[in-house]
Amino acid sequence: MLGIIGAMDVEVEKVKQAMKDVTVETIAAMDFYKGILEGKEAVVVRSGIGKVNAAICTQILADHYHVDAVINTGIAGSLKNEINIGDVVLSTDVVHHDMDATGFGYPAGQIPQMKEFSFSADEGLRNLAFTCCQEVNPEVGIHVGRVVSGDQFISDRVKKNWIAETFGGFCTEMEGAAIGQAASLNSIPFLIIRAISDKADDSANMDYSEFEAKAVKHSVNLILAMVKQY
C-alpha cells in the first residue's frame, strides 16, 4: 500500500477525488483517506504544514497503515537559476537546512548523534517518477537533486543564496526532510516530489499565489501516473 502525503488541501484534494471505496479515519487531527487509487491500495493524507506535522503523519502511515512506500507531493521554491517556476524536482536525498548545532562542532544541517547527514530517497520510485513525468507533463523541466527543508518560507535572496551554497539544494520547502527522516528510520522507501511555485527570493510572495495552481496540477498528474504504474 502506498502512502501519499501533501501538506495542504490543494495538494491532495484532486488525488482524493480520484479514489474509490474510500474510508476516512482521523488520527492526530489528520484525515487519512484509505481506498483504491488507479487500481492500487493507497492512503492519502493532508499532513499540515511544517516538519513536525509531516513527521507525525509519516509515523502514523508506518505504524497504523504499514505502508510499503511514501510519496510526498507538494510545491517548493527553486534554489537554482536553471530550475524554473512550473518545473518538477525529484529528490535524491533530503536535508534539514534549519538544523544548527554548529556550536557543538557539527556542520550546518547535521542532526547531532545521528550518522546520517542526509536521508536518501528511493531510486526505483525516482526513476518511475521521472518516466511518468515525461509522459504526463511533457512541457515541464525535470530535475533530480537534493531537497532541503526548514520551518521557514524562504523569500529573501540572501537567505536563499546561503541555503543553496551551504547545502547544494535544488529546492527548499517545509516538510520533505522530516518525511524522509521518519520514513528512513522505519526502513520505508520514500520520494519527495516538488513542483516549483516560486524562486525563493524577493519575488517569492508575488510568484507563489500566481503559480500555485499550475504547480499543483503538475504534481497531481504525476502522482496519478505513478500510482497507476507502481
If we measure between CA atoms, which residue out of 45, 51, 36, 57 comes closest to residue 8? 45
Cell of 158: 540572501
Which one is predicted more confidently, 200 or 45? 45
Average pLDDT estimate for 40-68: 97
Average pLDDT estimate for 166-195: 97
pLDDT of 62 above 70? yes
Cell of 128: 518511475
Average pLDDT estimate for 81-99: 94
Q: Distance between CA 219 and CA 177 in Å, rounded?
A: 18
Supply the residues annotated as catalytic: 11, 198
Average pLDDT estimate for 84-98: 94
> What local confidence, expressed as pLDDT, does residue 210 receive?
64
* Architecture category of domain 2-229 in CATH: 3-Layer(aba) Sandwich (3.40)
Tens digit of each residue's pLDDT (9 = 90 or more) over 138-166: 999 999 999 999 999 888 889 999 999 99
> Would you give the DSSP letter of residue 46?
E
Q: Distance between CA 201 and CA 183 in Å, rounded?
A: 30
Average pLDDT estimate for 9-33: 94
